[in-house]
């Protein structure tokens, strides 16, 4: 474990697999969590990012990452299912750092954050809301813009349902979904991703590996190297119990969307293999005054497929929220 490569999170995937599927010893699971935290700290240091922890909902330990211009408007990046803060690596190390304060965190059950196996830790929306609130308060963020990718759309809805939108400056739904567990919600997902979900949720090692490999190929092309390795490695660190519990929730959230009064931007890739464009169209139609951007030829991980365009649009949007601020 002496080389930088061996400490990167996606090269810890095999260790995470062994611990996740091969044992239930709490001490070993805690050791795995510590190893993940150490690996992420190494990686964030390489990117010039300050890392730390915060007590989220129910006291669960969350890993938080902070970079950019401390005097700039804050942007909070919320990654998706089986991701980590590294889902935003291009943004956390790119041009946005000049003008904005950038904060990201590993969702509960993901990355270097704690991973309790109790399903109740993931089916209660107030816990997800409290996690995001804790990040905002602990980092003393003044009306940050929230950017939720994929499952991050649920987290934003959880937060607004519990806390309203008075403490935030704007919202960006990125390839996001806000419904789950109903026929309507299922209709917003592609047939391709629905076909791999049984394996993604499986506790069988071989099935889980196959499903996760297929899922992350929908996020990033393996031929592109590092982005897929990061996606795959991050995904294999999420225990099966966590994966299943996250999608055990029945959610609608149309009432939350209709109540949003802060500026809202909806971005989606036309070539998304996970979530249909109709999901973005629905969100944009429900949020008063929301703007919808659809990127031709771009897949589910918009921030990886079209980072420069995404960052230009995000920068413009964040600046516009300051002009409309009361």
The CATH number that applies at residue 80 is 3.40.50.1820
Question: How many domains in the chain?
Answer: 1
Nearest CA to 302 among 266, 326, 251? 266
pLDDT of residue 61: 98
Q: Which residue has the tokens 């987290």?
A: 155
Nearest CA to 177 among 166, 190, 192? 190
Q: Rounded to the nearest 5 degrees, what angle is found at the Cα of 14, between the Cα atoms of 11 and 19?
A: 130
pLDDT of residue 41: 55
| Segments in the chain below pLDDT 50 | 1-29, 32
CA–CA gap between residue 14 and residue 55 (Å, rounded): 28
| DSSP-assigned beta bridge partners for residue 145 | 75, 170
CB 176 within 8 A of CB 149: yes
From residue 113, alpha-carbon distances to 40, 54, 157 in Å are: 10, 9, 21
Nearest CA to 112 among 137, 79, 136? 79
- 113: helix, strand or coil: coil
pLDDT of residue 45: 59
Helix locations, the chain, DSSP H: 4-7, 13-22, 26-46, 89-92, 120-123, 125-138, 152-163, 183-186, 191-200, 205-219, 226-236, 240-246, 254-259, 277-286, 302-305, 307-323
Q: Domain residues for 137? A: 4-323
pLDDT of residue 44: 59
pLDDT of residue 11: 45
């Amino acid at each position: 474990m002496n080389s930088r490569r061996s400490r990167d999170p996606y090269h810890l995937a095999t260790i995470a697999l062994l611990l996740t599927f091969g044992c239930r010893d709490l001490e070993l699971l805690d050791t795995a969590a510590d190893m993940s935290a150490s690996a992420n700290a190494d990686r964030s240091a390489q990117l010039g990012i300050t890392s730390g922890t915060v007590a989220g909902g129910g006291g669960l330990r969350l890993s938080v990452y902070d970079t950019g211009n401390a005097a700039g408007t804050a942007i909070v990046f919320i990654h998706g299912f089986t991701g980590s803060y590294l889902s935003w690596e291009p943004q956390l190390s790119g041009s946005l750092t000049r003008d904005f304060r950038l904060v990201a965190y590993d969702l509960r059950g993901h990355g270097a954050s704690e991973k309790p196996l109790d399903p109740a830790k993931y089916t209660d929306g107030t816990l997800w809301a409290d996690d995001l609130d804790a990040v905002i308060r602990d980092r003393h963020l003044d009306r940050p813009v929230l950017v939720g990718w994929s499952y991050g759309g649920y987290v934003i809805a959880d937060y607004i349902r519990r806390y309203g939108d008075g403490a935030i400056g704007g919202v960006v739904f990125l390839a996001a979904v806000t419904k789950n567990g109903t026929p309507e919600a299922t209709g917003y997902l592609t047939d391709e991703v629905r076909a791999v979900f049984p394996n993604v949720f499986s506790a069988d090692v071989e099935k889980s590996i196959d499903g996760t490999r297929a899922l992350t190929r929908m996020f990033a092309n393996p031929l592109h190297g590092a982005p897929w390795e990061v996606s795959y490695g991050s995904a294999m660190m999420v225990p099966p119990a966590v994966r299943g519990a996250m999608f055990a929730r029945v959610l609608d959230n149309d009432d939350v969307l209709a109540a949003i009064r802060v500026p809202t931007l909806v971005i989606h890739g036309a070539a998304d293999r996970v979530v249909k464009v109709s999901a973005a169209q629905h969100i944009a139609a429900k949020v008063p005054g929301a703007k919808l951007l659809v990127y031709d030829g771009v897949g589910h991980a918009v921030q990886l497929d079209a980072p420069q365009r995404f960052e230009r649009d995000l920068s413009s949007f964040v600046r516009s929220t300051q002009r409309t601020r009361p």
